[in-house]
Structure 1
Amino acid sequence: MTAPTQTTPDAVVSPVVTGDGTTGRGRTADRWRRTRWTLLVLGVLALVVAVLAVQRPATSTTPYAPDNAQPTGARAVAQVLGRQGVEVRHVTRVADAVAAAGPGTTLLVTPGSMLLPEQVDALAGVDADMVLLGADDELVRAATDGAVSRTPGAAAPAFAVEPACDLPLATRAGTMWLTPGLQVEPGADDVTLCWPVDGPAGLARVEPAGADGGRVVTAVDDPSFVTNDAVLDNGNAALALGLLGAQETLVWLVPDPLDTSSTGEGGAPSAGAGVLPPWAGVVGLWALLVVLVAAVWRARRLGPLVAEELPVVVRSAETTRGRGRLYRRTRSRGHAAAGLRAATAETVARRLGVPRSADATALTEAVARATGRSAHDVADLLYGPPPHDDDALTELARRLDTLESEVHRS
């Protein structure tokens, strides 16, 4: 029979107690006591993640970033440029860099991960002046229309080298230690090499000739001259400010290793560009990893079912006595009382024609009418608390048997 769901003025029903001696409220309290610390820890972790997600640190640790105050960063150069009136726009996506760079601006591309071919083409096609620091050979060739190539892995000179060119910014910088890894391709014009060492040079500038001119592309093989720990050495500061402060707006691109954005023809965003926030890729990979770990952790590894025949036939009476001994050994008087009450409730309900879908109140009232007992007495007998000792359990069994007899005589 189900638990009582309503009461009537003439029937006061006690709270239904299950076989293990607990109530619904008690089980809920036990679950809360077992899980509250786990829920508290999860809540604290969620709060920490939310705070970290909405707060952005004042500085970063990304090499060559304008907000990185560590030795590998370039915050010092960025702050000096800002005080000189240059607007520094820090971006990490190629699509954002291409959208921000235009005529009258300078696009700085710092060393980063391998760029996709479409990203290289998008960067090489901007109308802004470009400064490439330690860029890959593909980007150097694309930005200079094949006039300059880069051979990585060149050794730094053992002594400071004169610029050996007539560029004003190189003359102001003077002698420097720049790794020579740039060279002019055969047949290329309008290319100036500075700080050469046995052929290759540390800096190459492509500046179209003519009255209207065009964009200027400058490639530097060694990008360390803009870092915080080296900017004050020799002429590094003069070279950095001369290259990056030529225009009023500087777009500072620090490529994100997970960035796949670019722009299509006509400056239109390519498929997938700008649809998701920059951190969506990292969060997606992390979520996938969490799902896989949870699947491995919680997956059930069960073998095929095996049918096994019992070696002997166990009589039902023996099974009943065995269960009774187990109840007695474990002092499970609540389970034993629940079994007796359930059997009595099913017997009297069948005798009185009470359907199985009826609630406890309906059965209690039917038994009270048939036996002449009070509804409270019947409810306490069928749905009361578990007995506290063996004598009380024996008394409960005797009273239930008496109740069945009264119902059968009615």
Structure 2
Amino acid sequence: MTAETLPPATSASLTGRQLWTRTRGILIALLLLLVGAVAMAAIRSQSVHGGLDPRSTDPAGSRAIAELLADHGVTTRVVTTPDAARAAAGPRTTLLIAAPDLLSSRQQDRLHSATQASGGRTVLVAPGSWSIDRLAPGVSADPATSDRATLDPGCALPEARRAGSADTGGIRYTTSVPGADACYPSDRLATLLRLPAGSQGGDTVVLGAPDILLNKRLDQQGNASLALQLLGSRPHLVWYLPSLDDSALTDSQDRKSLFDLLPTGWLWGTLQLFIAACLAALWRGRRFGPLVPENIPVAIRASETTEGRARLYRKADARDRAADALRAATRTRLALLVGVPLTQAHTPEVLLPALSAHLADVDGQTAAHALLFGPPPTDDAALVALTDRLDALEREVRRP
């Protein structure tokens, strides 16, 4: 369709000013939401809040144990990428992995290789079945977790015997590694494991729950003693917290699609919701039956209805619709005067030849076509002029 054949914009089209008036409220609300989100992010970035973070003073943070370790000469450093964690591993370092299950399988394999060759200690906090097989081969996580409770050591590990009872619980583990220490049993399954040193002299500690490291639980039972002994065996502690800055978290080998992230049974649940929505629509939908006459409670004069519709047209600048209404009414009245059926009153080929007998000259017939079937007026003055000319045409046809 070329520019010459495009239909002209009608007077009912929204102008730029009208469009801005109608949408400015929504735009302002979106702008306020955006500004609020940026402000909240800026405020939150000024302070550290997070679970199991050695810089956080929140109840779920771990600032208290970091301060105690500092008093005993142990330095604590936070890293947020696997590469930094692997580089920091060494014989004089304890590497704590705060959220092993957040790592991809490739990251877990590379971390395990680095820690085994480092000769230091590795502490895994609440690893599940997704990560325990790679980070601690020979250990299995029980699918049924135990309640968080105060448990007795129940093993010969010196650190556990000196600490005594502690708030462990959480995930329970079994191991086939010879010489492993299985401590704090819950239903005969260990909630703390220490795997013996490998060829490089390093060992691995598996914690079933992070409770002994949290600020809110550190002063209870033997939690502080157990945490200090497990994390303070080397002069340096590297605390690994996975973060959004870690670009490796989106490893293409472990990338999941949107459907993989949805819970099982989502398709059946969606189908049920769709069927329920259809039944609700059938229940609440309108049922069109035969027309029923109804008495209007208030009698409204036809002139008032006409004036009301005219005001609406004027408010919307709908000159084209107003002109169509005027022309349609005039064509209907003229059809009755010249004997044209009402079904064909709006057909130029039928109405105009019947009007020719009542018009004086050919110019009048041409003008009748423009009046009754012409383009819409461009302004209010043209609309008023069109109304006058339609009245004049009808009077001429009525003249004997």
Normalising by structure 2, we get a TM-score of 0.52
Instruction: Could you tell me which runs of 5 or more consecutive residues in structure 2 were left unpaired when the two chains were aligned.
Output: 1-8, 262-342, 353-367, 390-400
State the structure with bigger RCO (CA 8 A, min sep 6), 1 or 2: 1
State the shift of 1:250 in Å: 2.7
| 1:95-143 deviations in Å (ceiling 9; x for gaps) | 4533444443222123464643212212212234210122124644434
For 2:187 and 2:347, locate their aligned partners in 1 and report how far apart those are by CA, in whole Å. Answer: 99
**Runs of 4+ that moved beyond 6 A:** 257-260, 269-273, 391-395
Classify the secondary structure of the residue corresponding to 1:222.
coil
State the shift of 1:198 in Å: 7.1
Q: Does residue 193 of structure 2 align to residue 204 of structure 1?
A: yes
Distance 1:111 1:152, change over 3 A: farther
Question: What code does the residue aligned with 1:237 have?
Answer: A
Residues 387, 393 of structure 1: 8 Å contact kept: no
1:193 to 176, 182, 189: 182
- Greater percentage in helix: 2
State the shift of 1:215 in Å: 1.8
1:314 counterpart residue number: 347
1:336 to 371, 377, 381: 377
Aligned-pair identity (%): 26
Residues 116, 260 of structure 1: 8 Å contact kept: no
1:222 to 192, 209, 212: 209
* Residue pairs, 1:173-192, within 5 angstroms: 173-179=163-169, 181-185=172-176, 188-189=178-179, 191-192=180-181
State the shift of 1:161 in Å: 1.5
| 1:348-388 deviations in Å (ceiling 9; x for gaps) | xxxxxxxxxxxxxxxxxxxxxxxxxxxxxxxxxxxxxx649
Distance 1:41 1:86, change over 3 A: farther
For 1:129 and 1:40, locate their aligned partners in 2 and report how far apart those are by CA, in whole Å. Answer: 55
Question: What code does the residue aligned with 1:217 have?
Answer: T
1:135 to 127, 135, 138: 127
For 1:166 and 1:241, locate their aligned partners in 2 and report how far apart those are by CA, in whole Å. Answer: 14
1:368 counterpart residue number: none
Residues 146, 186 of structure 2: 8 Å contact kept: no
* Residue pairs, 1:372-387, within 5 angstroms: 387=381
State the shift of 1:219 in Å: 1.2
Residues 109, 131 of structure 1: 8 Å contact kept: yes
Q: Does residue 162 of structure 2 align to residue 172 of structure 1?
A: yes
Residues 193, 205 of structure 2: 8 Å contact kept: yes
Q: Does residue 95 of structure 2 align to residue 107 of structure 1?
A: yes
* Residue pairs, 1:108-123, within 5 angstroms: 108-111=96-99, 113=101, 115-123=103-111
* Residue pairs, 1:268-307, within 5 angstroms: none
Distance 1:206 1:323, change over 3 A: same
RMSD: 4.7
Classify the secondary structure of the residue corresponding to 2:183.
strand
Classify the secondary structure of the residue corresponding to 2:205.
strand
For 2:347 and 2:221, locate their aligned partners in 1 and report how far apart those are by CA, in whole Å. Answer: 97
Question: What code does the residue aligned with 1:314 have?
Answer: T
Question: What code does the residue aligned with 2:142 have?
Answer: T
Question: What code does the residue aligned with 2:166 have?
Answer: M
For 2:141 and 2:18, locate their aligned partners in 1 and report how far apart those are by CA, in whole Å. Answer: 70
- Alignment size in residue pairs: 272
| 1:278-309 deviations in Å (ceiling 9; x for gaps) | xxx99xx9xxxxxxxxxxxxxxxxxxxxxxxx
1:98 counterpart residue number: 86
Q: Does residue 285 of structure 2 align to residue 252 of structure 1?
A: no
Classify the secondary structure of the residue corresponding to 1:202.
strand
Normalising by structure 1, we get a TM-score of 0.51
1:44 counterpart residue number: 32
Residues 79, 85 of structure 2: 8 Å contact kept: yes
State the shift of 1:218 in Å: 1.0
| 1:297-350 deviations in Å (ceiling 9; x for gaps) | xxxxxxxxxxxxxx74711767744468xx9xxxxxxx6365xxxxxxxxxxxx
Instruction: Could you tell me which runs of 5 or more consecutive residues in structure 1 were left unpaired when the two chains were aligned.
Output: 1-17, 21-25, 263-268, 274-280, 286-310, 328-334, 339-385, 396-410
Classify the secondary structure of the residue corresponding to 2:215.
coil
Q: Does residue 230 of structure 2 align to residue 243 of structure 1?
A: yes
State the shift of 1:152 in Å: 4.5
For 1:96 and 1:135, locate their aligned partners in 2 and report how far apart those are by CA, in whole Å. Answer: 20
Residues 193, 206 of structure 2: 8 Å contact kept: yes
| 1:131-187 deviations in Å (ceiling 9; x for gaps) | 0122124644434443x44434354698642454242x324312335338334416x
